Amino acid sequence: MSFMKSAVLILSVVLLWHAGQVSAQANPFVESFRHGLDAEDQGKLDEAITYYNEAIKTQPNSAHAWAKRGEAQLRRNDPQSAIRDLLQATKLDPGYAAAFSRLGFAYNAVNDFDKAIEALTTAVSLDPSASEALNTRGFAYNGKNDYENAIKDFDKAIRLNSKDARYYNNRGFALNGKYEYDRAIDDFNRAIQIDPSKAMFYNNRGVAYLRKKEFDRSLEDFDKTLKIDSTFASAYHNRGMALSGKGRHEKAIEEFSKVIELNPSSPILYKDRGTAYRKLGEYDLAVKDLEKSIELDKKFAPGYAALALLYATASNPSFRNPGHALKLAEKGVGLTRGESPDILESLAEVQHAANQIPAALATMQKVLALDPDNKEYSELLAKWQGSATPVQATQQARTTPFTTLW
């Protein structure tokens, strides 16, 4: 998920010019600065940065000039340069709330969520009414999977500005992370009501429906997403997941393959296509894709979990390897510190397939402790508790390979 592509931040700069502050000698600075603002408004970012460079040369202690150049760097997708400029702006003016807010945005863009939260906490302390700083800090908490604090920030942002669709969308993301899909859908509905032109909102609502196994409704949302923006790659991927959920694995593979062509370095795409191949019994192709997902990211827990399921449940005996499956599943759990119900559920399935029934039941108890409202997990545990033998491979095919793409 790319922060610069999934969120829009509009910040305004308020320049307070008091009488006598700008002398005749400062006119070159004012002229360069204003030209920079005009160029930035027209989307001429390189030209704007050139003017801001001139302004900074003329008046190197202007926090506003450093901050505006940093903002232009952000818009040009150069967050590292933006961070350097915004750090200088906050050093020159420690009371400049908007600069701290932009700095937090820049840190989010490089996935340095701890530094983002630090900068944004300063911004909020300087200006408690800054809904945008709260929203951006909530986004940082989302990045850390700290959904409780994220929701608190989005709640505050919405109280301050209830007409910004992004705030509802971002809170919906956090609620989805907490498996509160109905509440998430309510937020996505509100975001769409405010701004029905955003493809992302339909995609995100579709993901919530996807995780509820309401595949037809999710497909409707992904189709709407692509009607608005045919280049929205995540919607193709998510549509593939919905098709797979409906048992249409061949069609799902077509969707995954389209996205892999656009993004061949994404481990999650290979994992999901590999899962579809596994469900079709195309084990050679499945192993190739799942190993590729791990090759791309050695810490990609879903890849280990998916490969473990293949080796545990394959109907072809030549692919069955319970011992290796257990090692892979345990690796996935270790990478997620035992905090992911999906990854733990995979371990439970592998344990059950290996006839380690007590261990499988204990693991499922942990899964339900993390996601107590998940009906599918509850039903699986009840089924196992009434069974003396492992579930057959055809029954064990995992039905929740879904991932949240935003």
CB distance 225 to 235 below 8 Å: yes
Please say which residue of 127, 152, 185 terminates a domain: 127
What's the confidence (pLDDT) of residue 371? 84
Residue 149 domain-assigned (yes or no): no
For 12, other C-beta atoms within 10 Å of its C-beta total: 6
Q: What is the mean pLDDT of residues 356-362?
A: 95
Which residues constitute the domain of residue 287? 265-396
Burial (0-12, 13-18, 19+ Cβ within 10 Å), 300? buried
Residue 119 domain-assigned (yes or no): yes
Say what the alpha-carbon torsion angle 164, 167, 170, 172 is, to the nearest 10 degrees.
-90
Q: What is the mean pLDDT of residues 25-36?
A: 84
Structural domain count of the chain: 2
Confidence of residue 392 (pLDDT cuts 50, 70, 90): very low
Q: SS3 for 76-101, per residue?
A: CCCHHHHHHHHHHHHHHCCCCHHHHH
49-59 pLDDT tens trace: 999 999 999 99
Q: What is the mean pLDDT of residues 80-106?
A: 97
139-160 pLDDT tens trace: 999 999 899 999 999 999 999 9
Which residues, in sequence order, are CB contacts of 181 under 8 Å at separation 6+?
175, 208, 209, 211, 212
Residue 295 domain-assigned (yes or no): yes
Please say which residue of 127, 151, 176 terminates a domain: 127
Residue 19 domain-assigned (yes or no): no
Residue 260 domain-assigned (yes or no): no
Residue 304, pLDDT > 60, answer yes
Q: Dihedrals φ, ψ of 13, to 5°? A: -110, 125
Residues in the chain: 406
241-269 pLDDT tens trace: 999 999 999 999 999 999 999 889 999 99
Mean pLDDT of the chain: 88
Residue 153 domain-assigned (yes or no): no
As a whole-number percent, the residues of the chain with pLDDT over 90 amount to 83
> What is the CATH classification number for the domain harbouring 387?
1.25.40.10
Q: What is the mean pLDDT of residues 31-37?
A: 94
Residue 134, pLDDT > 60, answer yes
Q: Which two tokens stand for residue 47?
A: 């030209």
Please say which residue of 97, 127, 157 terminates a domain: 127
Which residues, in sequence order, are CB contacts of 373 under 8 Å at separation 6+?
179
Give this prediction's pTM.
0.77
What's the confidence (pLDDT) of residue 204? 96
